[in-house]
Copies of this chain bind each other. A is one copy, B any other.
Amino acid sequence: MDAGVQERLDDFIRRKGLRRTGQRDMIIKSVFSQDDHFTAEELFDRVRKSSSDISRATVYRTLGLLVEADLLREIDLGENQTTYDPNFLDKPSHNHLVCIDCGRVLEFEDAQIDLLNDSVTRRLGFRPVRQTLKIEASCEQLRLNGRCTNLIASRLTGKRLRKKR
């Protein structure tokens, strides 16, 4: 876990007159112990494994806190559950590419995209605050070779292959 996280959260907590608790510490450790995207429910399961005295409500409430403190970000992957992305601390303006064949999500940064979007925003008479780019795309691998390692991998792990509906 990035050393700065705990510190930044402490700042936030102090500034808002809130309190540091054991539950919050555990949840934060779990959130930032890895860099996969996750849902509230997935996090709840993960957290439960280390200590069972953390309730679902506290998980939801702490997630809200982390988002408010800008340590964690909600992203839209087209699911009906909110997905959380813990990687904005390291890569403050990364984007997401979602493969419509295998459901895999890639993160990428691109300074040119950022610049272009900023300039468009200014041209419209606004000051840019945040931008969210999601690219849905299909595997060249799958199209050219008739198979895609990610597709196979996700079948093995039982992950969902496509959006619902």
User: Which A residues have a C-beta under 8 Å from some C-beta of B?
Assistant: 64, 68, 76, 97, 99-100, 106, 108, 110, 112-113, 116-117, 120-121, 124-141, 143, 165
Which residues from B are CB-within-8-Å of A141?
125
Known contacts A100-B129, A112-B116, A132-B136; 17 additional CB pairs below 8 A are: A64-B165, A97-B121, A97-B126, A124-B137, A125-B141, A126-B137, A127-B139, A127-B143, A128-B135, A128-B137, A129-B137, A130-B135, A131-B133, A131-B134, A131-B135, A131-B136, A132-B135
- Smallest CB-CB A-B distances: 4 pairs: A126-B137, A76-B76, A130-B136, A132-B134
* Across-interface contacts of A97 in B (CB, < 8 A): 121, 124, 126
Integer count of this chain's copies in the complex: 2
Which among B117, B129, B138, B140 is the interface contact of A133 at CB below 8 angstroms?
A: B117
Minimal beta-carbon separation of A84 from chain B (angstroms): 14
In this complex, what residue of B is CB-closest to A132? B134
Query: Which residue of A76, A127, A143 has the most chain B CB atoms within 10 A of its CB atom?
Result: A127
> Which chain B residues border A129 with CB–CB below 8 Å?
100, 136-138
Closest residue to A117 on the B side, CB-wise? B135
Interface centre among A116, A126, A135, A136 (most CB of B within 10 A): A126
